[in-house]
Each structure stands twice: as structure tokens, then as C-alpha cells.
Structure 1
């Protein structure tokens, strides 16, 4: 057999489809994905065209473990997203695209400032919509154990989009997690909610602002956005407030919070309405407090992060003319690593406050478990991982 030429060696090393030979686990996973795609009725040409070319992207796995919604403090996250520059840009775009935004607002009930806030947080108003091949990102995540089922379904949806001719395979670019276009729709969201608003026969979330904004409005309406209501507001808590009552799971009528002495951020009385409301303190009792209403939960159905939802709500308020927070996030916030959170979750599991597999993400369940631990030990039960709280958890678990 003749020896391979230098050119052939280069091709063997650089061609994506062939490079997977060196990763047998990924190759086996792709073979399984191809079988599943065929079983779901996706045509053989698309299955082979796309999945024969996908490559594993290690950077995608790294980014999945470092999601800012779960690894940054509220002060850091909020400060990077609700900026004066973004507020000014949002207000300018509100004036520039007023007719389109008001049309979508009238149709779907989502105020213009919220559409702009989502656009601003997702892609900085379209300035960066992602450059990673979506099939590569989704295949990498589908073959990773953490959320394989979820991303497998998204990969199947991406194949259907390509098969329908909505976009060419080579043009399907997006984020590391497979989100696409101005508002970063996942493929399944695209299939269910994207609209051809400009009438050109394509649902183009990358290059058509009417398609993108209208699709975002429809998506939020389909999620259950309540017309005429805001997301929530900054609040002021009384000195004797019981922080064990905080958290989205502890909703009660706004009237109940008013009775407890909760006011707006400036100390003014709120109307005692029968609106389901929760109190959230994202940086503990030393930072700002927020009252959240049902539309806050709708924002979280877009992105399951309280920090993200707070940033959307506050950016929308600022674009509409509101001022800065009256109480800044606490300077003493801790930045926890993925492993720090896993260690905390492991300890809380051992102590009986948490019954979840440690995933390294500081979400609502972990916060609630920490709050319960704090309350039983006469600490301020704000669910905030302060140094004092972390020391107490560590000490308690080590004494078992």
C-alpha cells in the first residue's frame, strides 16, 4: 500500500468528519444520534449531511460549566448587563423602532421596553448573535452527560429546521448552547414560535428585525405574559423582616407583604392587591430587595435564572425612564466556583436540607436549602452564601 502524501495527511488531520475517529465515544454517540434522527422521521440526506460533519467542541463544555447566571454574583452580573450605555442604546432604539415595537406590543401585550431588554441582554441589540456552528454545539452537549436528553431534543429540532429549508446548514450559527438569532432562540423555540413577519417567506431571526421582534413577542405571549402587569419592582423591607420568607416558592398576595411593612424602594406604601408576589434578595440581606410578580416567572421560562430575570426587568424599567437602584448590591458578595457550589450542595445533602445531585449551579433549590439551614441555626435566613454561612455549613457537615 502506498504511503500517504503530505497533503493527504493534512486532510486526515483537519477534516472534521474524519477527526472524530480519534474520539470513539463521540463517534459512537453520533451514530446513536443518527439512528434517533432517522427514527423520528428526519430524512437521510439531512441526517448524513449534518451529522457526518459535526465536531466535538471542548470549549462548549467549558462554557456550560461556567454559565454567568449561576457562577457570578448579583453585583457582578447586574453591573455587566444593566449598564448606562445599554440603557442609552435601548432608549435610542425605542425611538428608532417605535412603530414596530408598538405593533408587537399591541398584538401580544408585551411592552416595548421588555422586548428591548431581552434583545439587549441576549445579543447586545444584535451586535453579536454568535459564531459557533449550532449543530456542533448541540451535538457536543447532546453527547455530554449533564443534560444529554435536553440537547438531543434541540439537535433534532435543528435538523428539522434545516430540512424545512428555513436556513442552510452552513449558515446556522449561534451561541455555544445552540441559541440563534437576535433573541437567541433555541431550535425548538424557533419551530414553535418564530414568525415570518416581513412576508418574505422565511423566518429569519438573524437578519430581519420584524421577524425577530415579532417572534419574541409571540414567544412571551405563548409563555403566558400577563398584559398590563409589570415584572416586579425594587422594594424596601422592614428592619424586623423574616428572611426565611424570601424566595420565589413563597408567593403570597401583595397585600400580605404590605401588611408586613414592605414598601416600594422609596418607602411609599403599595396598593394591597391580590397579586401573587414573592420577595427576592439576590445578594442577601445587605443588598437590594425585590418584589416579583407573575411576569417575572414568565421571564424565567425564557431563561431559568433569577439573575437574568432581574436584569431583564430592571433594564426594561431603565429604558422606560426609571432611575438606578436605591440600594446597591452588597460589596462583600462572594464569587463561588463550580466546585465551591458542588461542595456546598454535597454538605447540604449530607445535612438533610437538600435532596439533589450536586451540579455546581447555585439555583433556587440550593438557596432554599441554605436558607432552611440558616434559620435553624439562628442566622439571617436569606439563603445567601456568605462566608459566615459557608463556614457554618462546612463545620456542621464535618461534625457528622
Structure 2
């Protein structure tokens, strides 16, 4: 499973969509009422409010006690919780826009994030070195996850976990999963690891500088400072050490590269590609796969060929350590972004093969420029943050129409150039 489950993390990228109209009748009716007040709501009111949080919390209270959360902790913490029903919209929302892999990578592995990563490597050299020494996972990989998940601790999410998880635990799909995560959150509070007020994150409950879901935190997080607390929100050392611990548990192999870009021969059979189609490296040598400089593939062991954009795009030969990164957030695009960012932070070159598109992807700085130009043109898109969310895409479509371009809603190099020349 993903270190965060699903939802959280990558908080500064277009994989997180904008908020919608706030609250429904439950939020309006309950306001900031304490749990005791909820229990006293007249039947006429509770009949309108759906679901019955009184009954749901009662069920969770029993489950929490079975998991080791004492009644006093449950009552003290939950009495002031108002479920945030807005998160239910995210649970079933299907993205209207599928992000091309080149846009995804460009937004996560740009010069800005690379340079920030190198600075943070220097600033937190001691913490990263301690994590690497203890868990034998490269500091650059840990730093890359930190950079992608929260922009090096700058964007950890703002939604109170208790409010989000209490709504998801009582309504919608996967209530059993979210009840378990809510109980895990209560255990974190009871253990004294992270104060309840600091438990803020994504709509689905991921929190901290490297975005763990509560159950993963309980299972994996470590105390690197020796203060008796595992605080991945306020302690950089604990966050980085916990991330290294996660990768170590995911069978990270010391001294083995995650992979590298390769050349494919003409006529290569694309059906051989796939992260789960690992073959001995001799198999790939015999089929003409070579290093980017034309050299023979080095080493031994099993590898897989990855074609994230198809046979016309870049090709990568990946090892089991790519799978360890993949386990953190089960998406190949995510794992590739982490791997490439780690390489760039370490001073290695980026992707050499062009992506199969004639409309180049934009960096975060370029996306901010698109947003600034849209605002100057009169569009209300919210903050200039480099996140191409629904409001920005809607404005992009309109601008593309005005410029005589196909109205795709995608902000690419052609649009930016046309806006600059406008």
C-alpha cells in the first residue's frame, strides 16, 4: 500500500484539485458544536441531518477502545470535532483532465525543485546522513520524496485530520478503511507523538513532511531525535528517518541504482515492457538495449523496461529499488518522478530522449507565468501557485479559443508563447 494510502501528498501539484462550495447541511447545522451537543440535538433536526453522526461516533468509540484508545481520550478529542463533509466530494471525484506524463514530470522535476533540494541537502545534512546510515537508503532519494510530498516541508496540507476522517468514516465509500485511519489518528494523539492541532494534511488523511497516512505512521515512523516522540510534522529528522525506514521495509537494496535511461533498438517489441516484466539483464543485452552513450548494459540481475510514454518516448531500465519507491505511492509516474529528482539532486543529467509531443511541458515557474498572464487578461483563477487546477484549466480553454487554438485546457509551451506574443 501507499505510504499515505491515497489522497494526500504532492500538495503543490495539479494532482490536487481546487475546493468546491463549502459545507452542506451537516456542517451548517452542527457548526462548532461539541460532541455532547451533537448527542442532544432534537430528533427533528437529526432526522434532516445525514448521516447520524451520533450513532456513527458511538460505533467508532467501541472500535477505538478495542484498538487501545481509552474512553477518556476519545471523549476529550472527539467532543469538539465537526465532520467536514466537503471531503466527500473528493472521494468520488474523477479527474476531468488526464495529465500527460511529460507535464507530470515537468511539474515535479524542474530546476526550482532541484536547486531547492540541493540547498535542503546542505541545510539538513546531519538529519539526512543519520537516516541514510541507519536505514541504508540514499539521502538523495529521501530528499526527493520530501521535495515532492511537501515541497520540503512548505506545503503539508491544511485540512484537520479529525474533521476529514470523521466525515469519511461515517459516509461514502470505504468507511471501514477511514474508521481505521481515524482510530489510528486517535492513537497517535494518545501516544503523544503529534498534537491534535498539528494533525493537518490532505483530504484523505495524509500528513507530515513526507505525508504518511495514520496507520502507516503507527507501523513505520521512527524517533530519530531521541525525545520519545515520532513527530513527522515538526521534526525534519523524524520525517526523513521515517521515510528511509519505509523504503527499507519495502526491500530497498543497498548499492543498487533504481535504474537509468536506455536506448532501444529499432523494432523493439513494446509488449516486453512493463514494471512487472522483469528479465535477467542478459535478456535485454541480447535484444539490443544499450546505455544512452551506446555502451553495453553493465551489471547483473533482473531488470524491467519502462516506457512511460510509449515506444516513441524515453525508455528506462529499472530495478527492484524502483519498486521500493513505487510502494510509497503506487503509481509508476510518481516513482519515476522521485527517481529522476533524486538523480538530478545528485548532479546526474535529466532525461535525454524528447517526450513524444510538439507542445513542450511547462515548469512550475512557467505555469505561474501563465496564471499571471491569465489574471492580467481578466480571469479569476485564484492564487498564482503554479498548480493547474480546474479554474486555471477553464481559463486556459477560453484563452485558447480566443487565440484560435484548440481548446484543450492544457497549459503547454505553445500557449505560453502565444500569450507572450499577444
Higher mean Cα deviation, 102-111 or 306-315? 102-111
- The corresponding residue for 2:357 is 331
Tell me how far 1:316 sits from its aligned partner. 0.2
1:292 counterpart = 2:318: yes
Q: Is the Cα–Cα contact under 8 Å of residues 145 and 338 in structure 2 kept in the other structure?
A: yes
- The corresponding residue for 2:380 is none
Name the SS of the counterpart of 2:305 in structure 1: strand
Tell me how far 1:58 sits from its aligned partner. 4.2
* Alpha-carbon separation, structure 1, partners of 2:222 and 2:198: 19
1:276 counterpart = 2:326: no
Tell me how far 1:277 sits from its aligned partner. 1.3
* Alpha-carbon separation, structure 2, partners of 1:235 and 1:63: 38
- The corresponding residue for 1:14 is 31
1:121 counterpart = 2:148: yes
From the superposition, tell whether residues 146 and 79 of structure 1 become closer, same or farther in structure 2 (CA, over 3 Å): farther
Tell me how far 1:317 sits from its aligned partner. 0.4
Q: Alpha carbon RMSD of aligned pairs, Å? A: 2.6
- The corresponding residue for 2:334 is 308
* Alpha-carbon separation, structure 2, partners of 1:286 and 1:203: 46
Q: Is the Cα–Cα contact under 8 Å of residues 31 and 82 in structure 2 kept in the other structure?
A: no
From the superposition, tell whether residues 37 and 209 of structure 1 become closer, same or farther in structure 2 (CA, over 3 Å): same
Tell me which of the two structures has the higher relative contact order, counting C-alpha pairs closer than 8 angstroms and 6 or more residues apart. 2
TM-score normalised by the chain length of structure 2: 0.70
- The corresponding residue for 2:185 is 158
* Alpha-carbon separation, structure 2, partners of 1:67 and 1:78: 21
* Alpha-carbon separation, structure 1, partners of 2:247 and 2:310: 29
Which of 91, 102, 120 is the matching residue for 1:93? 120
Higher mean Cα deviation, 143-152 or 211-220? 143-152
Q: Is the Cα–Cα contact under 8 Å of residues 91 and 319 in structure 1 kept in the other structure?
A: yes
Tell me how far 1:309 sits from its aligned partner. 0.4
- The corresponding residue for 1:183 is 210
- The corresponding residue for 2:228 is 201
From the superposition, tell whether residues 109 and 327 of structure 1 become closer, same or farther in structure 2 (CA, over 3 Å): same
* Alpha-carbon separation, structure 1, partners of 2:213 and 2:89: 19
Q: Is the Cα–Cα contact under 8 Å of residues 205 and 211 in structure 1 kept in the other structure?
A: yes
* Alpha-carbon separation, structure 1, partners of 2:285 and 2:52: 56
- The corresponding residue for 1:135 is 162
1:99-110 to structure 2, matched below 5 A, reads: 99-110=126-137
From the superposition, tell whether residues 65 and 300 of structure 1 become closer, same or farther in structure 2 (CA, over 3 Å): farther
* Alpha-carbon separation, structure 2, partners of 1:280 and 1:64: 30
From the superposition, tell whether residues 31 and 276 of structure 1 become closer, same or farther in structure 2 (CA, over 3 Å): farther
Q: Is the Cα–Cα contact under 8 Å of residues 68 and 187 in structure 2 kept in the other structure?
A: no
* Alpha-carbon separation, structure 1, partners of 2:171 and 2:292: 44
- The count of residues paired between Structure 1 and Structure 2 equals 322
Higher mean Cα deviation, 115-124 or 263-272? 263-272
Higher mean Cα deviation, 93-102 or 295-304? 93-102
Tell me how far 1:230 sits from its aligned partner. 1.4
- The corresponding residue for 1:231 is 258
* Alpha-carbon separation, structure 1, partners of 2:172 and 2:317: 36
Tell me how far 1:212 sits from its aligned partner. 1.6
* Alpha-carbon separation, structure 1, partners of 2:28 and 2:351: 56
| Larger helix share, 1 or 2 | 1
- The corresponding residue for 2:392 is none
* Alpha-carbon separation, structure 2, partners of 1:122 and 1:284: 27
From the superposition, tell whether residues 54 and 254 of structure 1 become closer, same or farther in structure 2 (CA, over 3 Å): farther
Deviations 1:107-154 (A, max 9, x none): 211111101101000100001112111122223333454433333322
* Alpha-carbon separation, structure 2, partners of 1:55 and 1:13: 7
TM-score normalised by the chain length of structure 1: 0.73
From the superposition, tell whether residues 57 and 267 of structure 1 become closer, same or farther in structure 2 (CA, over 3 Å): farther
Which blocks of at least 5 consecutive residues in structure 1 are unaligned? 1-9, 334-400
* Alpha-carbon separation, structure 2, partners of 1:319 and 1:29: 47
Q: Is the Cα–Cα contact under 8 Å of residues 140 and 345 in structure 2 kept in the other structure?
A: yes
Tell me how far 1:272 sits from its aligned partner. 5.2
From the superposition, tell whether residues 193 and 39 of structure 1 become closer, same or farther in structure 2 (CA, over 3 Å): closer
* Alpha-carbon separation, structure 2, partners of 1:286 and 1:39: 54
- The corresponding residue for 2:407 is none
* Alpha-carbon separation, structure 2, partners of 1:75 and 1:147: 32
1:194-273 to structure 2, matched below 5 A, reads: 194-271=221-298, 273=300
Q: Is the Cα–Cα contact under 8 Å of residues 182 and 205 in structure 1 kept in the other structure?
A: yes
From the superposition, tell whether residues 280 and 61 of structure 1 become closer, same or farther in structure 2 (CA, over 3 Å): farther
